Amino acid sequence: MVANPEHARLFTQDELDALEVGQPSPAAEEKEEYDKEIEERLFPLDEIELLKKMTKNAAKEKELTLEELSSLLNLPVETLARTRESYPGELSAPEY
């Protein structure tokens, strides 16, 4: 009776009969698991905090780790660590 037996197991006979008659499938009547408005209230999006996090993450990505610098410059990590500790920051430029 079933033309393609491998697809017959997807639907029960009652579901197939309902489809042939034109009744809506029970899957179409399912509601969402949760209300979207409740989710938005649980996890509010604070744009200012989001921008701060994005800026902080971008700065972290730009700053290389000692291991990455070591491999790029072919210098030992210990040497780079000592240099980084003694580096005074922006005021080390000759014009200051």
Rounded to the nearest 5 degrees, what angle is found at the Cα of 82, between the Cα atoms of 60 and 93? 70
- Domain range holding 80? 46-87
55 in the same domain as 82: yes
Tell me, yes or no, whether 94 lies in a domain.
Answer: no
Has this prediction a pTM greater than 0.85? no
Instruction: Quote the CA–CA distance of 54 and 32 in Å, as a whole number.
Output: 32
Tell me, yes or no, whether 41 lies in a domain.
Answer: no
Number of structural domains, the chain? 2
pLDDT tens, residue by residue, 50-87: 888 889 888 877 777 888 888 888 989 898 888 877 76
32 in the same domain as 50: no
Q: Which residue has the tokens 């509601």?
A: 31
Structure-model confidence comparison of residues 32 and 38, the more confident one: 38
55 in the same domain as 83: yes
81 in the same domain as 51: yes
Confidence tier at 19 by pLDDT (50, 70, 90): confident
User: How far is C-alpha 87 from the geometric centre of its chain's CA atoms?
Assistant: 36
